[in-house]
């Protein structure tokens, strides 16, 4: 008898509701997560290789006011490398299913942080590239866009001493952005 009185006590009845609520919530979350699908491609590209097989990448001439002579060749080669290494596209000289062309329009040095003696303590190197992308298979993907990236270095260092490494980092950032906008669709 004593046991039946305890079971009828409202305190014991309330404990069942939180358990049922927790179980129901768990089921809803589980079903939601189970219905989600994650698609991942190891190369990051979203290309239909049955329709798109080739890419042509023109040389990007340096038409900026300040010219770093190796920049044009380094940029063009790095851009070609990212597509050949991360896609199955065949690189052709011209008339590819995808086409990239443009020019390097900016190579600038800008003084940044001012030190106590009113001289710049840091300098920013900025590279700007204008890109025209055409997709013969899906012309709606065509675009013309300007990409820019920079690196900051200590003004106590000579540009010639750090330029090669800075340019390498800037080129990497710009080419990855171009790749993402054209075939990775991030």
**Residue-wise pLDDT tens digits, 116-163:** 666 778 899 999 999 999 999 999 999 999 999 999 999 889 999 999
Token pair listed for 45: 């590209």
**Same domain, residue pair 129 and 68:** yes
For 52-93, what is each residue's pLDDT tens digit?
999 999 999 999 999 999 999 999 999 999 999 999 999 999
The confidence band for 25, taking pLDDT boundaries of 50, 70 and 90, is: low
Examine residue 49 and state whether it is found in any structural domain, yes or no.
Answer: no
- Dihedral over Cα of 14, 19, 22, 23: its sign: negative
The number of domains in the chain is 2
**Same domain, residue pair 23 and 88:** no
Per-residue three-class SS string for 30-76: HHHHHHCCCCCCCCCCCCCCCCCCEEEECCCCECCCCCCCCHHHHHH
Host domain of residue 58: 54-184
- Calpha distance 71→168 (Å, rounded): 9
pLDDT at residue number 137: 93
- Calpha distance 54→162 (Å, rounded): 36
- Calpha distance 163→46 (Å, rounded): 34
- Calpha distance 128→28 (Å, rounded): 49
Strand partners, 123: 111, 153
pLDDT at residue number 41: 42
pLDDT at residue number 27: 61
For 97-121, what is each residue's pLDDT tens digit?
999 999 999 999 998 877 666 677 8
Q: Do the strands 90-92 and 54-57 form a parallel or antiparallel pair, or are they unpaired? A: parallel
For 2-22, what is each residue's pLDDT tens digit?
555 555 555 555 555 666 666
pLDDT at residue number 39: 38
Examine residue 152 and state whether it is found in any structural domain, yes or no.
Answer: yes
**Same domain, residue pair 60 and 22:** no
pLDDT for residue 34 is more than 80? no
**Same domain, residue pair 81 and 130:** yes
């Amino acid at each position: 008898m004593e046991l039946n009185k305890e079971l009828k006590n409202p305190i014991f009845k309330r404990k069942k509701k939180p358990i049922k609520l927790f179980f129901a919530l768990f089921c809803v979350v589980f079903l939601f997560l189970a219905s989600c699908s994650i698609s991942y491609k190891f190369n990051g590209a979203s290309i239909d290789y049955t329709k798109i097989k080739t890419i042509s990448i023109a040389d990007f001439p340096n038409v900026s006011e300040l010219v770093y002579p190796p920049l044009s060749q380094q940029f063009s080669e790095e851009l070609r490398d990212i597509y050949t290494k991360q896609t199955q596209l065949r690189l052709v000289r011209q008339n590819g299913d995808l086409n990239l062309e443009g020019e390097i329009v900016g190579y600038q040095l800008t003084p940044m942080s001012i030190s106590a003696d009113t001289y710049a303590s840091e300098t920013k190197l900025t590279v700007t590239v204008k890109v025209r992308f055409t997709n013969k298979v899906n012309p709606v993907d065509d675009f013309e866009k300007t990409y820019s990236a920079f690196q900051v270095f200590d003004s106590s260092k000579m540009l010639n001493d750090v330029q090669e490494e800075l340019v390498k980092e800037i080129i990497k950032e710009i080419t990855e952005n171009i790749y993402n906008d054209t075939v990775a669709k991030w």
